[in-house]
Amino acid sequence: MPRPDLVGGGVDVRKRAVVVGSGAGGATVARELQGAFDVTVVEAGREFQRATLERRSIERMRRSRLLVDPRLVRLVYPPIRFRRTPDMLLVNGIGTGGTTTMATGNGIRMDGDLRALGLDLDREFDEIAREIPITTAHRGRWHPTTRRLFRAFEDLGLGPVVLPKMGDAELCRHCGRCMLGCPYGRKWDSRAYLDEAVRRGARLMTGSAVTEVVIEDGRATGVVTRTKALHRFVPADLVVLAAGGFGTPAILERSGIGCEPTLFVDPVLTVAARVPNAWQCNEIEMPFVVQREGYILAPYFDWISSLFHPSWRHRLQDIVGIMIKLADESVGSVSGGKVHKLLTPADRSRLDEAVDVATEILAGFGADPHAVFLGTVHAGHPGGMLPLTEASAPTMHDDRLPENAYVADATLFPRSLGNPPILTIIAMAKRIAAICAGEFAPSHLPAPQH
């Protein structure tokens, strides 16, 4: 039923939109739609809480071997979730801001595959540039280790490029805690958009996992949420799923909508060496990047490996790492509440090649190439199970979905980016919100003001 509020002297007939998830896609859609719709954001997690342990406390925990199971990290860092597969740990964030709160804040445009489908997001990327500070000014404050690594990359002819960061990266305090939750508010995450949507009237439901989309006569009528043992129906005229590359396909399956077995996850493997008093653990993460065929390389202190991997028992300040982020093959699925994902022979071959290159970089940095050690393979950029095609790209809508239901996360990517995806997800979400506002919002209402 319409709300009885008065708008311009008449009855407010705004329709109800439910947005599932508050990460890059969900927060963007909520911000764009609030005003044209009455928006409710449903988030499975609670308010984001950063990890507050200091370096000495982390060192003590590592020495004690208390963290033998990655799932125990939730005791000190509640928003992080781990799943195990035979080949890797799968990581995602749960809570306000989704995985953006534990990403490293990279603002890189990666829409080549979308453009190949005929999708031009220039306008959306221009809007983002006006709304979110994106800068490479952090380069002026790099520590000696990062500057030396940059030269080592250059000396090998790899062509390193400074990564633009979202937020006030030029004021980075060099705590090295990007993925643990920036304690100084320098890094942008999607809570900025979420907070803006809430200030304008959007409702936020935390601790509410969506179990399914309710569909009647080809239209979504709302979603069912679960809070502890309580199930609740939340009605909607528009449903936008942005629960992430693991969460969205699971919700669709429970709603009777099948996805494709084309899951990618962007596996990460860090190649490291012991370099006394390097202090990379206090440096901004991924300060620059090298693009290679099928993978990228970037300096990275791997907190996950440092906590669990037996080879990473050196002092934190004595470890220097080079991240490999792989554009893995789209072979995998989310079914029955479980993720099924293995590295293919081609993935393993590409990883082996990248390890060799990373080892050469560390040798150029001055480390012993025979003493390098590898981290835990982990992955946190899932997507691709409802990929856009040339047919669906113009409308951003797959025919399997109800006519008033959309997906607005990495599930739409045609294949792995092998790169940070946040900026591109935001751009897609902006386009989806514009389509929804044009097709489903009452035409006499004003467009949202930003």
Mean per-residue pLDDT, 184-199: 95
Name the least confident of 10-14, 26-30, 50-54, 415-419: 10-14
Write down the pLDDT at residue 378. Answer: 95
Is the Cα torsion angle 243, 246, 252, 257 positive or negative in sign? Answer: positive
The residue with tokens 């028992």 is 313
Tens digit of pLDDT for each residue in 137-149? Answer: 999 999 999 999 9
Side-chain half-sphere CA neighbours of 9 within 13 A? 0
* pLDDT at position 367: 95
Question: Could you tell me if 37 and 202 are in contact, meaning their C-beta atoms sit under 8 angstroms apart?
Answer: no
Q: Provide the pairing of β-strand 165-166 with 288-292.
A: unpaired
10 Å CB burial of residue 211 (0-12, 13-18, 19+) is middle
pLDDT in tens, 130-182: 999 999 999 999 999 999 999 999 999 999 999 999 999 888 888 888 888 88
427 vs 180, higher pLDDT? 427
Work out the percent of the chain whose per-residue pLDDT is above 90.
76
d(C-alpha 388, C-alpha 97), whole Å = 24
- For residue 64, the model assigns a pLDDT of 64
Instruction: Give the CA distances from residue 430 to residues 21, 89, 204, 413, 425, in Å, rounded to whole numbers and listed in that order.
Output: 15, 31, 19, 15, 9
